[in-house]
Amino acid sequence: MKRLSLLLGAVALAASMSCLAQTDAKIPAGTVALTVRLPVPTQKLLYVTEVMPVKPGPLTLYYPKWIPGDHSPDGPINEFMGLEITASGKRIAWQRDPLDRFTFHLTVPPAVDKIDISFQFPSKDRVTPNLLDLTWDHVALYQAGYPTKLQMFQPTLVIPADWHYGSALDTMNRSGQSITFKPVPFNTLVDSPVIAGKYFRKVDLTPAGSSVHRYLDMVGDSAAAVDISEAQIADYRGLVEQAQALFHSHHYDAYHLLLTLSDYTSVGGLEHHQSSDDRARGGSKMLADADHFMLDASLLPHEYTHSWNGKFMRPAGLWQPDFEHPERTSMLWSYEGLTVYLGDMLTARSGLWSPQTWREAIAYRAAEMAHRTGRAWRPLIDTTTAVDYSAPGAWANWRRQNDFYPEGELLWLAVDTKIRQLSHDKHSIDDFVRAFYSIDNGSFVTHTYTIDDVVNALNRVQPYDWANVLHTWLDGVNPQVPLLSGIESSGWKLVYTDEPSRYQKALENVGPGELEGSSINAMFSVGLKLNHRGGVSDVLWNGPAFKAGLAPGMKLISINGQAYSTQVLRTEIAQAQQTRKPLQIRAQGDGVTNLYTVDYDGGLKYPHLVREQGTTDYLKQILAPKPVGKGS
Ligand SMILES: [Zn+2]
């Protein structure tokens, strides 16, 4: 594996660098001095200046377009504003590339060896009056024609003097409001976000005896938001230890889990080699509220797992020499799907989730995928090729979304249980992970891999027709794809009852910020998904509500004559099972109110996993903590 992946990595590197190689020697010597200021946090404006060494003549600048981990050309160029370029105080004209709005062309005058660039970026969903979550790709232009790893940047961040900060970047000095970091290549800068704020807490998660530091850095809008309990800290220490026991390696000098706990920032996570940028769904309530903590618990394990799977070991098509070259995303079933599987496994092994919560989460996702009607026309591989994080929720079940996450997890559960069965419990996915990721301990120079590398590595753990298993799953359409085979071979089965799990209840009842409230997922029964205000967010293709004429975008007003609430909907679905009478749903859309007759008497349906008696309980083995060795 090691030799093969090194070779493939070298080939991929050579191929993608070929058009750049001859220009390497021409890179103007020197380091770009990048300064980002946040003078008025309530205004959320980041003021950017760059002093860039250049040579006279034509120059092309890029705004980062393909951001690693986003898997799509979604750099926020539509927010970029105020660009001015000068040399010795004289303005230099620039032109936008007519075919690519991320690209700017200019001509550097004779005898000029550096230019001054300034612009502003309104960071509306990453700045609050009390904090900043800075991703450097939002606030930098870089030169076209050279690999980003050859372009040195020295970043300076200017923030309120009483704010603290955390980052994988090394600090050179701090003086009052100004923090200057040590120079790094531009790809490392983009890979190294900074969180900063008035309410900041750093927790050392380094295992005893280890010299490799792991930190949990937290920032919030209040002291209460970052008030983490000793039990939660113990679980995150468990995460670091269990990750070590799984991967037997690390690929960072030190690692920072950067956690933003705000009700005013966007929600999500982005992986990096030596840190992760995590914005909790529960915001200020994540640590304080048990349900929020349960829903957010798998976020940090997921992004931490990416340090190995995604950053260090990366599908070849996702490695590019700069942020302008398009990524080829067809391996996301491995990059993301395996990360969901391993991340959730670590969430359970660390204690952040109980095995019961893991089963509830997987039952819910399996039920969602089992009701992904679009699996009849769209193979999983197509969801990886056409990644879309902004696709509408309406008709999501028929269109499919980024299903390589949840269905990818079910695929890897199937692989894991198959290895266990075929090897008579001698081997498991843990052996594959150890072989695939434990190479080059301590290095974070990316290795690239292909589907053939995955197949070969699986075959070394347990010989089988893995190529056929993977291609059948990835390229096939329902019903050929054995969606629930992993659950079924694990000694459990997916069933539906009239009682929701705690996990689903929490999903429906708690939301981020103003979305807090009661939503309902009735896709598994009447075929409706409703938001917290009774708005229809999705309708199951050809399901009971679909056949009655209901559509996303409508709003439910009443059911069987009673004003809509989630409880009324539940009660009437349950009643219809007894009375065998259709539901009479009054709904409004585009100013028109109609009565829709929904013919459904199957009762309430909530997914759960239950034991298949007389079979081996592989989930028990998969989710059990592994012995923790000496830290490294
Ligand atoms: Zn991910």
pLDDT recorded at residue 172: 97
Query: 549: CA distance to ligand 1 center in Å?
Result: 37
pLDDT recorded at residue 409: 98
Residue 285 has pLDDT above 50, yes or no: yes
Query: 302: CA distance to ligand 1 center in Å?
Result: 6
- DSSP secondary structure of 292-309: HHHHHTTHHHHHHHTTTB
Q: Report the distance separating Cα 146 and Cα 153, nearest Å.
A: 14
Query: 272: CA distance to ligand 1 center in Å?
Result: 10
pLDDT recorded at residue 533: 86
pLDDT for 533-560, tens place per residue? 899 999 999 999 999 999 999 999 999 9
Among the ranges given (2-6, 193-197, 438-442, 540-544), the one the predictor scored with the smallest mean pLDDT: 2-6
pLDDT for 292-331, tens place per residue? 999 999 999 999 999 999 999 999 999 999 999 999 999 9
Query: 402: CA distance to ligand 1 center in Å?
Result: 11
The one-character DSSP state at 330 is T
Query: 82: CA distance to ligand 1 center in Å?
Result: 33
Report, as an integer, the average pLDDT of 551-580.
97
Q: pLDDT tier at 515 (50, 70, 90 boundaries)?
A: low
* 3 state DSSP class of 535: strand
Query: 95: CA distance to ligand 1 center in Å?
Result: 36
Average pLDDT, the chain: 94
Residue 391 has pLDDT above 60, yes or no: yes
Residue 15 has pLDDT above 80, yes or no: no
pLDDT recorded at residue 29: 75
Query: 404: CA distance to ligand 1 center in Å?
Result: 10
pLDDT recorded at residue 16: 38
Query: 412: CA distance to ligand 1 center in Å?
Result: 15
Among the ranges given (9-23, 161-175, 451-465, 489-503), the one the predictor scored with the smallest mean pLDDT: 9-23
Query: 303: CA distance to ligand 1 center in Å?
Result: 6
pLDDT recorded at residue 26: 57
Query: 311: CA distance to ligand 1 center in Å?
Result: 10
Query: 310: CA distance to ligand 1 center in Å?
Result: 8
Report CA 376 to chain centroid distance, whole Å: 26
535 strand-pairing partners: 555
Q: pLDDT tier at 629 (50, 70, 90 boundaries)?
A: confident
pLDDT for 167-189, tens place per residue? 999 999 999 999 999 999 999 99
Query: 601: CA distance to ligand 1 center in Å?
Result: 39
Query: 309: CA distance to ligand 1 center in Å?
Result: 9
pLDDT for 470-495, tens place per residue? 999 999 999 889 999 999 999 999 99
Q: Report the distance separating Cα 323 and Cα 493, nearest Å.
A: 44
Cβ-based neighbours of 15, under 8 Å, separated by 6 or more: none
Query: 354: CA distance to ligand 1 center in Å?
Result: 22
Query: 269: CA distance to ligand 1 center in Å?
Result: 8
Query: 554: CA distance to ligand 1 center in Å?
Result: 33
Query: 271: CA distance to ligand 1 center in Å?
Result: 7
Report, as an integer, the average pLDDT of 564-581.
96
Q: pLDDT tier at 17 (50, 70, 90 boundaries)?
A: very low
E-strand ranges in 407-461 read 447-449
pLDDT for 240-255, tens place per residue? 999 999 999 999 999 9
pLDDT recorded at residue 518: 82
Query: 528: CA distance to ligand 1 center in Å?
Result: 28
Amino acid at 555: K
Query: 565: CA distance to ligand 1 center in Å?
Result: 35
Residue 630 has pLDDT above 90, yes or no: no
Report, as an integer, the average pLDDT of 191-206.
98
- Relative to beta strand 90-91, strand 536-539 is unpaired
Query: 336: CA distance to ligand 1 center in Å?
Result: 5
Q: pLDDT tier at 568 (50, 70, 90 boundaries)?
A: very high
Residue 5 has pLDDT above 50, yes or no: no
Query: 69: CA distance to ligand 1 center in Å?
Result: 7
Among the ranges given (138-147, 203-212, 453-462, 503-512), the one the predictor scored with the smallest mean pLDDT: 503-512
pLDDT recorded at residue 267: 95
Structure tokens at 307: 């340090």
- Closest by Cα among 296, 287, 322, 266 to 140: 322
In Å, how far are 32, 65, 152, 382 from 29, measured between CA atoms? 10, 25, 9, 44
Q: Report the distance separating Cα 105 and Cα 60, nearest Å.
A: 5
E-strand ranges in 44-122 read 45-53, 57-62, 81-87, 90-91, 94-97, 100-108, 114-122
pLDDT for 58-72, tens place per residue? 999 999 999 999 999
Query: 306: CA distance to ligand 1 center in Å?
Result: 7
pLDDT for 108-142, tens place per residue? 999 999 999 999 999 999 999 999 999 999 999 99
Query: 320: CA distance to ligand 1 center in Å?
Result: 18
Query: 588: CA distance to ligand 1 center in Å?
Result: 38
pLDDT recorded at residue 294: 98
Residue 445 has pLDDT above 50, yes or no: yes
Query: 168: CA distance to ligand 1 center in Å?
Result: 19
